[in-house]
Structure 1
Amino acid sequence: MGPILLELIDIVLSTNVSRSYHLQICTEYFIDERYFYLLLFHVNATLTIGSIALLATGSLLFVYVQHACGMFKIASYRIKKAIHICTLKDLNTQKEILIYKDLIRVVDIHRKSMTFSNYLVSRFQISYMFLIVFGVLSISINIFRIFQIVLLEYNTGELLLCFAITSSCFVYMFICNLIGQQIIDHNNDIFLTAYKVQWYVTPLFIQRLILILLQRGSKSFHLKVGGLFVASLECFATVHKIYIYFISFTIVLKIYFLYNGIK
């Protein structure tokens, strides 16, 4: 949009200055350069469509994960409600049956929530793998380019562009890992609720159902992509540390080359 704004400024201020325009992204077109605005429209349209597709898929994933988190939350609420009824003094056979049915639903809701989460990841696993590889390569290349610009050639426009791309990739990766962390937290909340309630005052048949939940809580549940990446804030922190090491190594290597006169 920069060339268009400059053109509008020239029209408003009535300036008669020749300007040389160039695209911010290096591309190769097999048409004449006099169609510059057509090329600019093509680049902007491509970036816009790509950004919309990225936001759309991310938003859809967020909605699905919130649905799974809501199911986990419902299971936690049902545990609290069922055990609260057990602590009342006027407990009769009919209420015991209702409590028993509620806990059965809790186990069923928890199982369906995990199945839904795993199914969600399995359906988009290949796409997520490509997205992770693309994000890692994009961040690595842009970080390397940023330090190359700072140490050798200070180009403000290209520096801001690389910084914007790197920041966008980091934000997108953080949001994806945050979504996975929400699944982990809501799943763990079910077992924390089962531990905290007064399950020991309930009848024996109800304690057996709660025991099923407690045994399942000994196994961690998380969203794993490609069998390698676990969507969590811990994974994001690990990746962030790797990039810090990479940046430090790049700076040291570049300073060494500059000190020895090697380009």
Structure 2
Amino acid sequence: MISLDCLHISLNRTLLLSIGLWPYQQSNLVRFQIVLLLAILMTCIIFQFTAFLTSECTLDLFINVFSSALFFLFLVIQYIWFYINTGIVKGLLEQLLNIYDDLTDENEISIMKEYGSYAKRYTVGLMLIIIIFVCILILYPFWPQILDILLSTNQSLSRPPLGGMFVTEYFVDQKKYFYLILLHGNAALFIGLVTVLATGTLLIAYLQYACGMFRIASYRLEQALAVDTLRKGSLRNKNLIHKELIHAVDMHREAMRFSDSSISKFKVMFSFMIIVGVISASLNFFRLFQALTFRYDTELLLPLISVTTYISYIFIGDYVAQEVMDHNNDVFATAYDIQWYTASLNVQKMILFLLQRSTKIFSLNIAGLIVGSLEGALTLLSTILSYFTVLYSMRT
């Protein structure tokens, strides 16, 4: 049995360990870590809604509070669902290991390694983006002081409230406890962003390996029906072709089953995330539009981070799902392109049976709401813009 090291998910493992969601190490200390992190996230949401208790409830306050609170709820949903379903996460990893362990052809192993490296590149790239966000979060509250030093203005610049991120009410003197409140808000945002990064990149790794399995199925078809092989008419060679075709079909079925399981196991999570994410993205996009167009006195940092997170999540997720669909279609394209007419009648019947499967479209249905594809990404984006248009018409 091979180890998890061959899957190139060491970075994913480190990220999941940092937030207590790695399924193989669930000690009491890890459970305490999970409770602590969830408490930080949940209290951050609660102290945003308490602003309604001390402030006049206006449309602007409603938009400001719900735009940020729903963003944090989006992060909490993903955290809680992965914690509840650590067994599913572990089962998918072990299923992937079993598939990897059954490979004996060096070319097939190299294909899986290639797609594992693709998944690692996604993780590294997205991690760099999160690091940039974290640096901005740390420096943002001190930006007035930095400008004062750089420009030598000798003027007292106003400090952004609560780090300039969102409206809260802690029922304490916010000037006196500014740095503690700032620490709480930044910690919650950091935990949420790492959660999105760790869980999202693991799902990307699952789907990238599914693409590798489709690629192996295409490779097996090419090997089984190579021209020089088909011209040899011995009974032994025909049996070898039958065997290789069966292996190709088995791998294709396994790839479809694994990629579908990677999405369907989290369909409830995705359904909640889509609903909450669309509403929150619309509100945050509206806040950005207000600030940039009408120069409203509103902070841009959290709306900018949330809109960037939503759009990245939508397009990267749907792009990877589109890759899975394309790799599935490549299997049938390979079957069409090979010189099947040089094969025996029995082999031609097997290929025809495989081609008939191509008439049934394979897609990754996300919670019954959208199909994971670039078209689905555009559908979600158009929905966000539609809600934004409604808000704009109400506000004007």
Question: Quick check: TM above 0.5?
Answer: yes
Shift of 1:185: 0.4
The superposition leaves residues 212-247 of structure 1 with CA deviations (integer Å, 9 ceiling, x where unpaired) of 211111000111122221111111122333444555
Q: 1:81 to 1:20 in 2, by over 3 A?
A: closer
Shift of 1:151: 4.8
Matches within 5 A, 1:206-221: 206-221=347-362
User: In structure 2, how many angstroms separate the alpha carbons of the residues matched to 1:18 and 1:186?
Assistant: 56
Q: How many matched pairs? A: 254
Give the aligned partner of residue 22 of structure 1. 161
State the one-letter code of the partner of 1:134. V
User: In structure 1, how many angstroms separate the alpha carbons of the residues matched to 2:337 and 2:157?
Assistant: 74
Would the aligned equivalents of 1:86 and 1:201 in 2 still touch at CA under 8 Å? no
Shift of 1:30: 3.3
Using structure 2 for the length normalisation, give the TM-score. 0.58
Give the aligned partner of residue 253 of structure 2. 111
User: In structure 2, how many angstroms separate the alpha carbons of the residues matched to 1:74 and 1:211?
Assistant: 20
Q: 1:163 to 1:44 in 2, by over 3 A?
A: closer
Q: 1:198 to 1:11 in 2, by over 3 A?
A: closer
SS in 2 for 1:219: coil
Q: 1:112 to 1:166 in 2, by over 3 A?
A: same
Give the aligned partner of residue 233 of structure 1. 374
- Of 242-251 and 32-41, deviating more is 242-251
User: In structure 1, how many angstroms separate the alpha carbons of the residues matched to 2:340 and 2:159?
Assistant: 76
- Greater gyration radius: 1
User: In structure 2, how many angstroms separate the alpha carbons of the residues matched to 1:173 and 1:182?
Assistant: 14
User: In structure 1, how many angstroms separate the alpha carbons of the residues matched to 2:301 and 2:181?
Assistant: 22
User: In structure 2, how many angstroms separate the alpha carbons of the residues matched to 1:25 and 1:187?
Assistant: 44
1:96 aligns with 2:238: yes
Give the aligned partner of residue 44 of structure 1. 186
1:182 aligns with 2:323: yes
Give the aligned partner of residue 363 of structure 2. 222
5+ residue gaps in structure 2? 1-137
User: In structure 2, how many angstroms separate the alpha carbons of the residues matched to 1:21 and 1:170?
Assistant: 26
1:67 aligns with 2:209: yes
User: In structure 2, how many angstroms separate the alpha carbons of the residues matched to 1:163 and 1:19?
Assistant: 21
SS in 2 for 1:154: coil
1:147 aligns with 2:289: yes
Give the aligned partner of residue 260 of structure 1. none
Shift of 1:87: 5.3
5+ residue gaps in structure 1? 258-263
Please, what is the CA RMSD of the aligned residues? Answer: 2.7
1:55 aligns with 2:193: no
- Of 63-72 and 236-245, deviating more is 236-245
Would the aligned equivalents of 1:85 and 1:99 in 2 still touch at CA under 8 Å? no
User: In structure 2, how many angstroms separate the alpha carbons of the residues matched to 1:36 and 1:145?
Assistant: 24
1:136 aligns with 2:278: yes
User: In structure 2, how many angstroms separate the alpha carbons of the residues matched to 1:114 and 1:102?
Assistant: 18
Would the aligned equivalents of 2:218 and 2:330 in 1 still touch at CA under 8 Å? yes
User: In structure 2, how many angstroms separate the alpha carbons of the residues matched to 1:143 and 1:191?
Assistant: 42
Q: 1:178 to 1:184 in 2, by over 3 A?
A: same
Shift of 1:166: 1.4
- % identical aligned pairs: 42
1:80 aligns with 2:222: yes
Q: 1:106 to 1:242 in 2, by over 3 A?
A: same
Shift of 1:200: 1.5
State the one-letter code of the partner of 1:221. F
User: In structure 1, how many angstroms separate the alpha carbons of the residues matched to 2:389 and 2:177?
Assistant: 43
User: In structure 2, how many angstroms separate the alpha carbons of the residues matched to 1:247 and 1:141?
Assistant: 7
The superposition leaves residues 144-164 of structure 1 with CA deviations (integer Å, 9 ceiling, x where unpaired) of 223333454434x62454234
The superposition leaves residues 26-76 of structure 1 with CA deviations (integer Å, 9 ceiling, x where unpaired) of 122133321211111111111111100100011100110011111100000
1:171 aligns with 2:312: yes
1:202 aligns with 2:343: yes
User: In structure 2, how many angstroms separate the alpha carbons of the residues matched to 1:8 and 1:85?
Assistant: 70
Using structure 1 for the length normalisation, give the TM-score. 0.85
State the one-letter code of the partner of 2:182. L
1:158 aligns with 2:296: no
State the one-letter code of the partner of 1:226. A
Shift of 1:9: 7.4
User: In structure 1, how many angstroms separate the alpha carbons of the residues matched to 2:159 and 2:393?
Assistant: 37
SS in 2 for 1:77: helix
Would the aligned equivalents of 1:147 and 1:251 in 2 still touch at CA under 8 Å? no
